[in-house]
Structure 1
Amino acid sequence: MSLGSQIGPEFRAFDFAHDGRTYEVFRGGLGPAVLVLHEIPGLHPGVIDFARRLVDAGYTVYLPSLFGRPATPANGREILRSIVQVCVAREFTKLADRTSPIVGWLRALAASADRECGSRGVGVVGMCFTGGFALATALEPSVVASVVSQPVMPAPIGKRGRAALGLDPEDLSTIRGRANNGLHVLGLRFTNDRGCPPERFETLRATLGTSFEGIEIDSSPGNAAGLAPSAHAVLTVSLVDEPGHPTRVALDRVLAFLAEQLRH
């Protein structure tokens, strides 16, 4: 059985190369293009389920496999394996004021997806380790909608790290300019998530102004929704797929946000 069939019959696998880097990508669906950037440990079943929702909603979904093993459950062993992999990979810069080299490859994929899907603009959804990449990929002009879900990189160490977005100053200036000219960004986090501190969203608000919409879900001890204080992955592992639950409300907002930006 191929990896593509393990992920699901609605996806086909292909290799995408740019600037000396090649990664496997899974594509499925029809409609405007949306890149879904997986969290650690990789393209686990929760990420794939989220991608299927987008396919069902009428989007062409691109799932690049940046690290980890596709379709493998998000267990402790796989998480450790992926953490080791990304820690030694040169593609992923961990500095507060540096844009990761992988962003060039993601921008090229976004531009290719836009051409393939009729040049209607591209949406990007990033999660956890790749959360900030969803914003950085908007350096590509075809990206008009970014969903930044619980971005944990750069590491939130110290005052500077907690507020940082992981972009070169020049790239940050470009993103600010794009926000003044049609780019929209939606951010998701749990209030008690130490990996994605509130200072990071404060920076997004200060940088992007009204182009940024932040959703912060109460995960404080004793919260009304019964969420664990350790809740982290808004759209996957921590999702409670019940109408009215705050994580489901956040998911529904993501779907509405993409529709607003890509179906105008």
Structure 2
Amino acid sequence: MSAAADDRRPADGDPADRHPADDPITDFVRWEVTVNGVAKGVHVAGTGPAVVLMPEMPGISPDVLRLARWVRDAGFRVYVPSLFGTDGGYPTAERGEVVVRRACVSAEFRAFAGGGTSPVTAWLRGLARQAHAECGGPGVGAIGLCFTGNFALTMALEPAVIAPVVNHPSLPLDDPAGLELSAEDAAAVRERVDRDGLTVLAYRFAGDRWCTGQRFAAYRSLLGGAFDGRVLPDGAANTDPPPFFRDTVGTPHSVVTAHFVDGEGHPTVRARDEILGFLAERLRPESAGA
């Protein structure tokens, strides 16, 4: 990894496209990480065991960064890779639709049924290896969101990843019962989960049309009792999310980001705290019960 410590700039892109609600990401350091000759930007903050937090569509939004800060403040070193969209960009409908179109035809992603495992997951496993070498500890956590939701499971093919969290996985877009995994990788994931006793924590809203009950049933069929899928009622979703989620997603979807409601005892707050507890139990076992 190489640091760009002076690269703490506002969201990338044309200044004319800046939005007042963009996050300047001034409390993270932007690194350039190279895996197998491919370099990508990664925003890094905190100390402690490593957690790779992947963005949801349409990119590293202010809500994704809010989640990253919660992870950081819970005692982890969080790595947020830039995979698509404008880093720190507020998710307007216009921005989001452009990013979705590009991602759906990108060679790095397999957005539709029959495509198998997204190639970018190999790069993400390399990031997890490097993060574990840097941070030490028993292993690495991986949090996927929406378009990257299932990537957290695929990353478990890397032995360093021991705490996968799958949030509202939306791929493949055209198969509600699909898992965005090749048959070979699905078998390898099941073998890893069985061999090492991993648990996969997952969340969705009951009426989410992008991550349906059929998808969670497919996870359960693959992983058996190792799949801990939790479903929140639609009424728990934030009713005033950013425009991309209101106008394009159009359904309760992002449990701990865009549709999060910051209220004491709220179901989405409990989900957030459960995720942080899951990471602590596996990555900081000596302090999880303290």
TM-score, L = length of structure 1: 0.92
Question: Once the 2 structures are TM-superposed, how far is the Cα of residue 144 of structure 1 from its aligned partner?
Answer: 0.4
Q: 2:111 aligns with which of 71, 94, 98?
A: 94
Question: Once the 2 structures are TM-superposed, how far is the Cα of residue 10 of structure 1 from its aligned partner?
Answer: 3.1
Partner of 1:205: 220
Preserved CA contact (<8 Å) 1:3 1:71? no
Partner of 1:123: 141
- Secondary structure of residue in 2 paired with 1:256: helix
Q: Within the alignment, does 1:162 sit opposite 2:176 as a pair?
A: yes
In structure 2, do the counterparts of structure 1 residues 227 and 64 end up closer, same or farther at CA, with 3 Å as the change threshold? closer
TM-score, L = length of structure 2: 0.84
In 1, Cα distance between equivalents of 2:111 and 2:266: 34
Partner of 2:169: 151
In 1, Cα distance between equivalents of 2:128 and 2:206: 31
In 2, Cα distance between equivalents of 1:134 and 1:185: 9
Q: 1:55 aligns with which of 58, 72, 76?
A: 72
In 1, Cα distance between equivalents of 2:8 and 2:110: 29
Gaps of 5+ in 1: none
Per-residue CA deviation, residues 68-124 of structure 1 (Å, 9 max, x unaligned), is 111110111210121122022110122435111101100000011011011420000
In 1, Cα distance between equivalents of 2:8 and 2:255: 25
Aligned residues between the structures: 256
Q: Structure 1 segments of 4 or more deviating over 6 A? A: none
In 1, Cα distance between equivalents of 2:93 and 2:121: 27
CA-based RMSD: 1.8
Question: Once the 2 structures are TM-superposed, how far is the Cα of residue 227 of structure 1 from its aligned partner?
Answer: 5.6
Mean CA deviation greater in 77-86 or 100-109: 77-86
Q: 1:113 aligns with which of 116, 119, 131?
A: 131
In 2, Cα distance between equivalents of 1:250 and 1:200: 19
Partner of 2:8: 4
In 2, Cα distance between equivalents of 1:29 and 1:247: 24
- Secondary structure of residue in 2 paired with 1:237: coil
- Secondary structure of residue in 2 paired with 1:242: coil
Q: Within the alignment, does 1:217 sit opposite 2:232 as a pair?
A: yes
Preserved CA contact (<8 Å) 2:31 2:41? yes
Partner of 2:207: 192
Gaps of 5+ in 2: 1-5, 11-23, 240-249, 286-290
Q: 1:173 aligns with which of 182, 187, 201?
A: 187
Q: 1:250 aligns with which of 265, 271, 280?
A: 271
Preserved CA contact (<8 Å) 1:231 1:238? yes
In 1, Cα distance between equivalents of 2:203 and 2:263: 18
Partner of 1:241: 262
In 2, Cα distance between equivalents of 1:210 and 1:263: 23
Preserved CA contact (<8 Å) 1:5 1:11? no
